[in-house]
Structure 1
Amino acid sequence: MANLVEIRDLKVRAQSDSGRLIEIIRGVSFEAAEGEVVALIGESGSGKSTIALTLMGHTRAGCEIIGGQVRLAGRDLVAMSEAERRRLRGTDVAYVPQSAAAAFNPAQRLIDQVVEVSRIHGLMPRQAARARAVELFRALALPEPETIGERYPHQVSGGQLQRLAAAMALIGAPRLMIFDEPTTALDVTTQIEVLRAFKQVMKQGGMAGLYVSHDLAVVAQVADRIVVLKDGAVQETGTTDDIINRPQHPYTKELIAAFRPVSHATVASPAAAAEAPILEVRNLVAGYGRPGPDGMPRVRALDDVSCRLERGRNLGVIGESGSGKSTLARAIAGLLPPVSGEVLLGGQALAPDVARRAKEDLRRMQICFQLADTALNPLRSVSDIIGRPLTFFHGQRGRAREARVEELLEMVRLPRAMKHRLPLELSGGQKQRVNLARALAANPEIVLCDEITSALDTVVAAAILELLDELQRELDLSYVFISHDLSTVQAICDEVMVMYGGRTVETLQASALPEGATQDYSRLLFASVPQLDTGWLDGLPERLPGT
């Protein structure tokens, strides 16, 4: 097969906030044949998305291509005029973004946005474009394909919106599709549907694809070949089977190892087993919206949920979006006072509202939020962020506080000099470590971890999990770990509670997963977790257990 894509010695330079010029893509070369799907994998900052965007003839603000060739069907996009590039976008090459929500105008109907490319390029009459859109909706396994286009973006689910973004890209019948982390924000059950739909439509259309991801298991299901990137340079290129099963480069081996975390196991001491659980949740009911005549919230996010956590052990809470996981963490922390039920800390009932809890109770139980970007004050230095709980809970000031800040930074494996930086000067993994250091500053007994690794690359997430394990041994901590990732909870937790629709489905020993699941929904959830196996998706039945 002839090469549709040829990238040769590509170099991209960026300008930092301080005005310094940095080469962020350093001599990258690879190709993709017609009908072939090539994946770019690597951690954040490796250059995956930057390279993918050059195939649209685009660079982000502050970036410029300073060398090399980017050829699509024999034409060099670097040498083209901007007008020529515009004519290619949507027809020869199309792009499906990570966040489909950001790709749609919330004030326009979906069908009008899907057919926009056809109107811009004059590809077909309006009625023919609408008929083609409905064909794509059907091919992408969207519900009610004849009428779903009449809805607005907020009236469909995240998985449906992601497939609609693909329809918008496909309507111009492009020769190359670029997928930029299109399933990262989706639940595992929804991800299966989306991957299947993408794969089927690409195969039917004979299109080439460039798939950007840091998730090796997802890439294994869709890619023919893989290009491994780190720091803007190619580390290794090979078939998907070779990269996954016979990696050669040390960095590729590190990625594979990070995907298979070692299962966690602790043994509660006889003393801990004899005393009351460090945390107990009894019959919690909580939700959002104005209460109805019965006193219940309009949206009941938790419905009679109970669980318990023994001292020195870890409880995982797993389920898809909307299952109530994060609401449970917020209710336990007192950030969302429950309508009924109670939370006990060391056998003593806590006030429902965090504002009414004693300072000592607040100190004993801390929470780490999913997005460190929004959890850390962007205007405060790392020293101020970590130091605030030191003053609030322990009265530390001046040199004593600064010394403890440095100790906490070392504890989370960050250099002391980082205390002077602002959050925007840190990487995602560094921000999450600062987030954790702030929680540890209180000297807590329990840390509620709400999806704290979901936005991180595989290697960085594995390092955070290893750190949590070390800190638990050193500080005698107990964790409640909220996640939708089975491998993550297996790596850190002793027990796992499965949630669906605001209710507890079942609670299992982590060591018994996934085979020990007894409920249909649990089996569905665990069966939907992609495996590092190139034939896994194709080997799945059309209907999984519980569907």
Structure 2
Amino acid sequence: MANLVEIRDLKVEATTDSGRRVEIIKGVSIDVAEGEIVALIGESGSGKTTIALTLMGHARTGCRISGGSVSVDGKDMVTLSERQRAAIRGTEVAYVPQSAAAAFNPASTIMEQVIEVTRIHRLMPPEEARKRAVELFRALSLPNPDTIGNRYPHQVSGGQLQRLAAAMALIGGPKLVIFDEPTTALDVTTQIEVLRAFKSVMRKDRIAGVYVSHDLAVVAQIADRIVVLKGGEVQEVGATADILTDAKHPYTRELLAAFEPRPRAADAVVAEEIRPLLEIEDVIAGYGPLQSDGLPLMRAVQSVSLKVEQGRNLGIIGESGCGKSTLARAIAGILPASAGNIVFDGRELGKSARERTRDQLREMQIVFQYADTALNPAKPIEEILGRPLAFYHGMKGKARDARIDQLLDMVHLPRSVRHRHPAELSGGQKQRVNFARALAAEPKLILCDEITSALDTVVAAAVIELLKELQRELGLSYVFISHDLSVVEAICDEIVVMYGGKKVEQITPAALKAPQHPYSQLLFSSVPKLDPTWLDGLQQDPDLVRSYCRK
């Protein structure tokens, strides 16, 4: 089989804060055959995305391709002019980003944006392009394929938008598609639907793919071969089944080990009942104008009750749109609850953060899913971490500087990071800064909203171990909102399953293998396995389960 892609001795340099040039991709060589899907796997900073972007002749700001060749269908993307590269992007090589939301213009309809590449490159008449777009919507298993293009990006779900981003990439008829962590932010049931759709279209049209991911279980379902990267170098290459069952390199085995269930410490025998640290009762929260009953038009959380005991953790899981994050924002007072009670450490809290004391705000912190929007891009990391130290503890000068170093140590970041801005950090590094900022307040409870979704598997496992360690040392409690069941299972004492704004089941990790509610059964059966045949053999009917849940 002929190679569509031949990367030979690729080198990429980056400029450091001091102006020094360092080599971040160190002589990498990779082949991709026609119709083959090759996964690039490795921890944050391993060079996965940097290598993938060179397939379009692109290097991120502060980086440059300093050596080697990147041949796509016989054309060296390194030596082409920018004009020649522009003619290839979208037609021969296409890109599906991690965040589809960032790829769409909120002011234009979906159809206008999906067919834009055909207009730019004059590939086909507008009517033919619309017809082709509808065919792709249908092939990608999107609902209402004939009319979904008339909507705006905010009017579709995250999983639908990710598939629409794939349609945008595929409409130009590319020979190669780059998938850059396209399912990272999706819940497990949506992820399965998206992976199935990607795999079906790629197979049918014999399109080659480069799939960037840190999730080996996801890669197992879609990739023919795996390239393992670390520190800008290839550690191991092999067929997917061979890598999963007989990995040779110690680093590959470390990645695989990170997927194994992490043992939980045995629960201590409790002599007396533990007083709840957090107790919420019949909370209703949502969006839109208040109705005559004082409740919002869109009720994202409907009469949810739960409690978290001191030193213990509660997981909240469910698909996108089930109300998980809205519930976290209501608990934190960011989105005031419309009804119900929130009691924290024995005292009833005001529904809005503005109605809470400084100590109440300090003792309950929230870490958001998207560090990109949570961190001020104009401020260096030391200012971002220094602000809560000054606000809550009055720290300044040497004491403040010493505490910033301690916080960076706690989240496993080098102290030199303090002088950088968020844009200069990887996604995983930004999320760890996000968590360090919460720790700066010295809270009793941390609400964690998908905090590991941007981290590679090894780093995520290390962060979970770190959180356990901090919990033992500081007596912290966590509320984990996540679609990653392995994370919730590893650290939570109780797990709440939400669907349609309601709590449908509450179980312990030990009972995960035998959930009672049909939606819980669907959710837990949707977690990818380290088995290349798993997705093709999976038999479930999500629509049937969801229709049952709506009754």
TM-score for the superposition, normalised by structure 2: 0.91
Equivalences for residues 480-491 of structure 1 within 5 A: 480-491=479-490
Partner of 2:14: 14
8 Å CA contact 2:118–2:172 kept in 1: the answer is: yes
CA distance, structure 2, for counterparts of residue 438 and residue 145 of structure 1 = 44
Q: Among all aligned residue pairs of Structure 1 and Structure 2, give the percentage whose two residues are the same amino acid.
A: 66
1:349 Cα shift? 2.0
Partner of 1:177: 177
Aligned partner letter, 1:530 = P
CA distance, structure 1, for counterparts of residue 370 and residue 111 of structure 2 = 33
Deviation track 1:350-407 (CA, whole Å, cap 9, x = no partner) reads 2222233234433433333333444445555655554554555455555555555555
CA distance, structure 1, for counterparts of residue 333 and residue 529 of structure 2 = 37
Equivalences for residues 207-246 of structure 1 within 5 A: 207-246=207-246
CA distance, structure 2, for counterparts of residue 428 and residue 475 of structure 1 = 27
CA distance, structure 2, for counterparts of residue 196 and residue 28 of structure 1 = 30
Partner of 2:72: 72
CA distance, structure 1, for counterparts of residue 413 and residue 75 of structure 2 = 47
Partner of 1:534: 532
| Change over 3 Å in CA distance of 1:507–1:36 after alignment to 2 | same
Partner of 2:143: 143
| Change over 3 Å in CA distance of 1:57–1:288 after alignment to 2 | same
CA distance, structure 1, for counterparts of residue 518 and residue 175 of structure 2 = 41
Partner of 1:522: 520
CA distance, structure 2, for counterparts of residue 398 and residue 89 of structure 1 = 50
Equivalences for residues 464-503 of structure 1 within 5 A: 464-503=463-502
8 Å CA contact 1:5–1:33 kept in 2: the answer is: yes
CA distance, structure 2, for counterparts of residue 108 and residue 345 of structure 1 = 44
Deviation track 1:480-510 (CA, whole Å, cap 9, x = no partner) reads 1111110110111111001122111110001
Partner of 1:290: 289
1:79 Cα shift? 3.0
| Change over 3 Å in CA distance of 1:522–1:92 after alignment to 2 | same
Find the residue that maps to 1:165 and give its secondary structure. Answer: helix
Equivalences for residues 121-140 of structure 1 within 5 A: 121-140=121-140
Partner of 2:364: 365
- Which ranges of structure 2 fall in alignment gaps of 5 or more residues? 547-551
1:415 Cα shift? 5.7
Aligned partner letter, 2:300 = A
Partner of 1:331: 330
Deviation track 1:286-326 (CA, whole Å, cap 9, x = no partner) reads 12222122211122121100001122211111112222212
Aligned partner letter, 1:340 = A
Is 1:251 the counterpart of 2:264 in the alignment?
no
CA distance, structure 2, for counterparts of residue 81 and residue 157 of structure 1 = 38
CA distance, structure 2, for counterparts of residue 199 and residue 77 of structure 1 = 26
| Change over 3 Å in CA distance of 1:250–1:133 after alignment to 2 | same
Aligned partner letter, 1:527 = S
CA distance, structure 2, for counterparts of residue 468 and residue 213 of structure 1 = 24
Aligned partner letter, 2:364 = M
Deviation track 1:256-281 (CA, whole Å, cap 9, x = no partner) reads 1223350434525524x424222211
- Larger mean CA deviation between 35-44 and 392-401 belongs to 392-401
1:241 Cα shift? 1.0
Equivalences for residues 114-513 of structure 1 within 5 A: 114-271=114-271, 273-378=272-377, 385-390=384-389, 392-394=391-393, 402-414=401-413, 423=422, 426-513=425-512
| Change over 3 Å in CA distance of 1:280–1:23 after alignment to 2 | same
Instruction: Count how many residue pairs are aligned between Structure 1 and Structure 2.
Output: 545
Is 1:51 the counterpart of 2:51 in the alignment?
yes
Find the residue that maps to 1:290 and give its secondary structure. Answer: strand
Aligned partner letter, 1:524 = L
- Which ranges of structure 1 fall in alignment gaps of 5 or more residues? none
| Change over 3 Å in CA distance of 1:448–1:109 after alignment to 2 | closer
Find the residue that maps to 2:276 and give its secondary structure. Answer: coil
Deviation track 1:493-539 (CA, whole Å, cap 9, x = no partner) reads 111001122111110001221x2211111111112221221111101
- Larger mean CA deviation between 501-510 and 59-68 belongs to 59-68
Find the residue that maps to 1:79 and give its secondary structure. Answer: coil
Find the residue that maps to 1:168 and give its secondary structure. Answer: helix
CA distance, structure 1, for counterparts of residue 198 and residue 418 of structure 2 = 45
Aligned partner letter, 1:367 = I
Deviation track 1:142-174 (CA, whole Å, cap 9, x = no partner) reads 222222223333332222222222222222322
Equivalences for residues 66-105 of structure 1 within 5 A: 66-105=66-105
1:236 Cα shift? 0.9
- Larger mean CA deviation between 119-128 and 491-500 belongs to 119-128
- Larger mean CA deviation between 482-491 and 454-463 belongs to 454-463
CA distance, structure 1, for counterparts of residue 423 and residue 116 of structure 2 = 36
| Change over 3 Å in CA distance of 1:251–1:154 after alignment to 2 | same
- Larger mean CA deviation between 15-24 and 394-403 belongs to 394-403
CA distance, structure 1, for counterparts of residue 354 and residue 380 of structure 2 = 26
Find the residue that maps to 2:258 and give its secondary structure. Answer: helix
CA distance, structure 2, for counterparts of residue 147 and residue 412 of structure 1 = 47
Find the residue that maps to 1:278 and give its secondary structure. Answer: strand
| Change over 3 Å in CA distance of 1:234–1:485 after alignment to 2 | same
Aligned partner letter, 2:317 = I
1:410 Cα shift? 4.4
CA distance, structure 2, for counterparts of residue 106 and residue 220 of structure 1 = 34
8 Å CA contact 1:268–1:312 kept in 2: the answer is: no
- Larger mean CA deviation between 432-441 and 203-212 belongs to 432-441
CA distance, structure 1, for counterparts of residue 422 and residue 73 of structure 2 = 43
Aligned partner letter, 2:183 = T
Aligned partner letter, 2:522 = L
8 Å CA contact 1:109–1:149 kept in 2: the answer is: yes
Aligned partner letter, 1:249 = H
| Change over 3 Å in CA distance of 1:33–1:334 after alignment to 2 | same
Aligned partner letter, 1:456 = L
Aligned partner letter, 1:511 = A
CA distance, structure 2, for counterparts of residue 509 and residue 344 of structure 1 = 23
CA distance, structure 1, for counterparts of residue 194 and residue 84 of structure 2 = 32
8 Å CA contact 1:134–1:145 kept in 2: the answer is: yes
CA distance, structure 2, for counterparts of residue 442 and residue 87 of structure 1 = 51
1:342 Cα shift? 0.8
Partner of 2:549: none
Aligned partner letter, 2:235 = Q
TM-score for the superposition, normalised by structure 1: 0.91
Aligned partner letter, 1:329 = A
1:17 Cα shift? 4.9
Q: Give the root-mean-square deviation of aligned CA atoms.
A: 2.6
Deviation track 1:444-464 (CA, whole Å, cap 9, x = no partner) reads 332222222122222221111
Aligned partner letter, 2:465 = E
| Change over 3 Å in CA distance of 1:73–1:505 after alignment to 2 | same
CA distance, structure 2, for counterparts of residue 416 and residue 211 of structure 1 = 32
CA distance, structure 1, for counterparts of residue 421 and residue 66 of structure 2 = 31
